Chain A
């Protein structure tokens, strides 16, 4: 094994951040690390746009009447919140930022298999994003992020076409990223890095990429048909023309349910890394976590009909989808079991990323568990389209995916920037986010049980108390999300030098690459001779 000769506390003189300095060297960079930074900046902007929209309609929901905004405005706000958060933030978040940065480093490669394609997919994403911003400034769209026909095709007077094109274009960015990762993982692994020595982060991204490549084209075509219907004026989903609006839902959810796993699977990869490192323990049940990722990717394709129990879908179809939905809970539960198993007898260090990861475990368990309520046809009829659904998927998307994204960002920030952030503030933000999140969304479970429907700007007076809780929680959550922006930015200038491996972590990116890594990642091509996660419990923490 080649040894790293870097002094752990000195940053390398030349690294990927400073070796070229012009704007063009960033905008036309083929370096996966720089492309990851481009993504990081752009998705962060969209995250705060989506967050502001949410803050605005949470304020509206403080009171039962529509006093801050009227129904039309409210509809546009929650639609844009959904479109921005899902298509422009959650789908690209972990794969495009952390995946792009880390996959080549973790497998000992100089870059992804197709660097030009990688850059192209960022540009495609930005074109989609620009269209999204155009939607925003031309009055928004009010169909909900789901674009259900016939509302989207016949009745909506807003800019559905432009919004559909924004989602359509962004989809191809996702496809190209997935394609690139699959080929990279297959062909670019360092000598000795066999499949069962791969970090679980890589397995999770492999599974995610399968979904991105195979599911995204279907939503592209579904959205394309909506656009055709609006432009050409023929009703592809119009019953008067022998069509069926429910068919749109089939095509839409064939993608959009697996898309949930595009958002959560990479998060699960992050959690595996963070927990193993901070418990100073070998991961428990490695093959189970690895294969459960692939199982989720496959079984996740068989359950989409559980979004359509009250749509007019055939009863027997619903029955089958309901049973299959129960199945997909199994691999998720296996993962949680194995993470807890990893903690057992571990030598746990309570770092900021670890606190985020612990938040993930609890919140994702609640999110997944409440999903079962909705996957059962009987209870779904009561809970469908209530705030219970809203709370459920925010527990998975924010409590799961965003918590994992933040855990990953806090974990790899020293590697990405070469700097340490204020660790106390890091822990504080993890705690604030956890409290704010629960205060926002737990009351929504109760509201949903009481029958408060989603997507209305006004509600009955007896629901006000819980809504006040929820809105107050959202403000705390907002502070929790802003705090990292401050100390991360601060760390860029004033942060201590991180050294190559501040967490005492295992993995090529920590042990063989400097912080920040050199432009071509490694000084010598790494050779792998041991399993992943060979922790001894005696690793030094130097943050």
Chain B
């Protein structure tokens, strides 16, 4: 494709600082009681943010071809399919049938 983009050490340093801040944030958020699903959701949201930073900058996906984006997306998409359809089974185990009560 195009000329390869070289990411500079300054960018890497900024990303590292952002990652460190997010790590402190996730530990701090865990100390606060937000109630049942919210602590988990916050922790996951922060983890996803960190992962996105690493993928975009450390792994250069921000500067990569569309095809790389598709492959990265595919891996993530298939993972979601697996977890969603599997946990759906467990979450609906307790439901009752409208026909049998």
Contacts and interface: CB of A to CB of B under 8 A. Distances in A.
Interface in A306-330: 313-317, 320-321
Given A214-B74, A214-B75, A250-B86, A302 B92 contact: no
Complex A-B, nearest 4 residue pairs according to Cβ-Cβ distance, in ascending order:
A317-B89, A314-B92, A316-B92, A314-B93
B75 A314 contact: no
Given A214-B75, A301-B78, A301-B81, A247 B86 contact: yes
B85 A305 contact: yes
A474 B91 CA distance: 45
Contacts of B93: 314
B97 interface: yes
Contact of B92 (A218, A251, A317): A317
12 contacts: A214-B78, A246-B89, A250-B86, A251-B86, A254-B82, A302-B85, A305-B89, A314-B91, A316-B88, A317-B89, A320-B88, A321-B85
Interface residues of B, number: 16
A315 B82 contact: no
A316 B91 CA distance: 10
A250 B78 contact: no
Given A320-B85, A320-B88, 7 more contacts: A214-B75, A250-B89, A302-B85, A304-B85, A305-B89, A314-B95, A317-B85
Contacts of A301: 78, 81
Contacts of B89: 246, 250, 305, 313-314, 317
B38 interface: no
B10 interface: no
Contacts of B32: none
B86 A186 contact: no
Nearest to A311: B89
B25 to A, nearest CB: 31
Interface in A226-267: 244, 246-247, 250-251, 254
B97 A315 contact: yes
B95 A302 contact: no
Nearest to B95: A316
Interface in B45-101: 67, 74-75, 78, 81-82, 85-86, 88-93, 95, 97
A302 B81 contact: yes
Interface in B23-57: none
Contacts of A186: 67
Interface of B: 67, 74-75, 78, 81-82, 85-86, 88-93, 95, 97
The interface centre, meaning the residue of B74, B75, B90, B91 with most chain A CB atoms within 10 A of its CB, is B90
Contacts of A304: 85
A314 B90 contact: yes
A301 to B, nearest CB: 6
Contacts of A214: 74-75, 78
A246 to B, nearest CB: 8
Contacts of A218: 82
Interface in A190-249: 210, 214, 218, 244, 246-247
Contacts of A320: 85, 88
B97 A317 contact: no
A306 B27 CA distance: 42
A505 B92 CA distance: 54
A315 B97 CA distance: 8
Contacts of A302: 81, 85
A321 B92 CA distance: 13
Contacts of B74: 210, 214
A66 to B, nearest CB: 37
Nearest to A254: B82
A317 B88 contact: yes
Interface in A162-211: 186, 210
A309 to B, nearest CB: 12
Contacts of A254: 82, 86
B96 to A, nearest CB: 9
Contacts of B75: 214
A156 B85 CA distance: 30
A495 B75 CA distance: 48
A247 B88 CA distance: 12
B68 to A, nearest CB: 11
A254 B87 CA distance: 13
Contacts of B91: 314
A426 to B, nearest CB: 41
A251 B81 CA distance: 12
A364 B85 CA distance: 28
A251 B87 CA distance: 12
A218 B85 CA distance: 14
A251 B97 CA distance: 26
B57 to A, nearest CB: 25
Contacts of B86: 247, 250-251, 254
A457 to B, nearest CB: 33
The interface centre, meaning the residue of B67, B75, B89, B91 with most chain A CB atoms within 10 A of its CB, is B89
A316 B87 CA distance: 12
A251 B92 CA distance: 18
A70 B92 CA distance: 42
A304 to B, nearest CB: 8
A313 B78 CA distance: 21
Contacts of A246: 89
B72 to A, nearest CB: 13
Nearest to A214: B78
B91 to A, nearest CB: 8
A321 B85 CA distance: 9
A251 B78 CA distance: 13
A244 B92 CA distance: 15
Contacts of A244: 90
Contacts of B78: 214, 301
